[in-house]
Structure 1
Amino acid sequence: MTETANPGGVAADRLRSYVERIERLEEEKSGLTDDIREVYSEAKAAGFDTKVMREVVKLRRMDQSDREEKETVLEVYKQALGMAL
């Protein structure tokens, strides 16, 4: 493929290719976001707390040491505010 450049020195074919790839990925991302939203809706209809589910998903993505550090700091803050059990 021969790349054409405009007077500004931009390789138009390459730029177009990148832009089109990004557009396709954005469409896929939008579809996945809709799918995720649907799963949360199904879970809510089944009686699950979706706010808590989102937090669980977030925690599961974290490295174990980062998760433990977050939980430790949260516990310290709760104790400082008189919220600890």
Structure 2
Amino acid sequence: MADNQNAAIGHNSVAGDQLKSFVERIERLQEEKQTIADDIKDVFGEAKGMGFDRKVLTEMLRLRKMDEVKRQEWEHLRDTYGHALGIFG
């Protein structure tokens, strides 16, 4: 069946053109994604150079994405667990 689909795409220039277009768009987006990932890495490097801790920054980014209720629930659980383990006194 896959051979029939491949043959159909090969003989149908419209489907072949669409496929090529999808692949090229995905490739461009992957390049952009890598460029953005490199930029983020650079910003983390700048922050580290200024004395900021990457792990803490990452945690702050994660917390900022949470809605207020979820963040409060997480903080309550963290504090509860921390106290139970003697981490917070």
Task: Please indicate, yes or no, whether the TM-score normalized by the shorter chain is above 0.5.
Answer: yes
Q: Which has the higher helix share?
A: 2
Corresponding position of 1:20:
24
RMSD: 1.7
Q: Residue 21 of structure 2 aligns to which amino acid in structure 1?
A: S
Q: TM-score, normalised by structure 1?
A: 0.81
- The ranges of structure 1 where at least 4 consecutive aligned residues each deviate by more than 3 angstroms after the TM superposition are none
Considering Cα pairs closer than 8 Å and 6+ residues apart, tell me whether 1 or 2 has the greater RCO.
1
Q: Residue 42 of structure 2 aligns to which amino acid in structure 1?
A: E
**Whose radius of gyration is greater, 1 or 2?**
2
Offset, 1:77:
1.2
- Deviation string, structure 1 residues 25-66 (Cα, Å, up to 9, x no partner): 110010001001001111111111121111111111111111
Q: Give aligned pairs, total.
A: 80
Q: How does 1:29-40 map to 2 (within 5 A)?
A: 29-40=33-44
Gaps of 5+ in 2: 10-14
Gaps of 5+ in 1: 1-5
Q: Residue 72 of structure 2 aligns to which amino acid in structure 1?
A: E
Q: Residue 27 of structure 1 aligns to which amino acid in structure 2?
A: E
Q: TM-score, normalised by structure 2?
A: 0.78
Q: How does 1:51-70 map to 2 (within 5 A)?
A: 51-70=55-74
